[in-house]
Amino acid sequence: MKKLFVLLLCLFFVGCATVGREVNQGNAEKLQKGVTTKVEVIKIFGQPSSQSFNQAGKVVFTYIGCQVKNTAWNFIPVVSAFHSEMKMNNQILTITFKDDIVEEYSFSTSNTPVKYGIIP
């Protein structure tokens, strides 16, 4: 909770922020099941946000990105104490490998408004 407060406080003073790495659908579409290697994935996306193993013992890379942008409400004196809003865009790319070759992948994105203040 303390980290979230510090993040929100920093974002109040800065117009936007990026956490993790930006993952876009265009790069995700470069992946070919049964063809793209783990080395090629790292060349395209860099090191994953996390690396784990699924129940079958296969390697799973997860890439997570989040962009946060303040809205105009946040920069209006007094008004921002009553109503402020940020727009968050989250992207998650999960890639499962079999013998260092992409077996499957999924990409998801969500846009979430975060409202705060006395009148959220």
- Give the containing element (helix H, strand E) for 119: none
Domain count, the chain: 1
Q: Which amino acid is at 50?
A: S
Could you read off the pLDDT of 90-105 as tens digits, one per residue?
Answer: 999 999 999 999 999 9
Q: How far apart are CA 60 and CA 41, in angstroms?
A: 12
pLDDT at position 114 is 79
Span 68-90, mean pLDDT? 76
Closest by CA position to 92, among listed 60, 66, 58, 55: 66
Global pTM value: 0.72
How many CA atoms does the CB half-sphere of 55 hold within 13 Å? 0
Of 67 and 63, the structure prediction assigns the larger pLDDT to 63
Span 64-84, mean pLDDT? 76
Mean pLDDT of the chain: 83
Q: How far apart are CA 36 and CA 38, in angstroms?
A: 7
User: Could you tell me the residue range of the domain that residue 15 belongs to?
Assistant: 2-116
* 3 state DSSP class of 87: strand
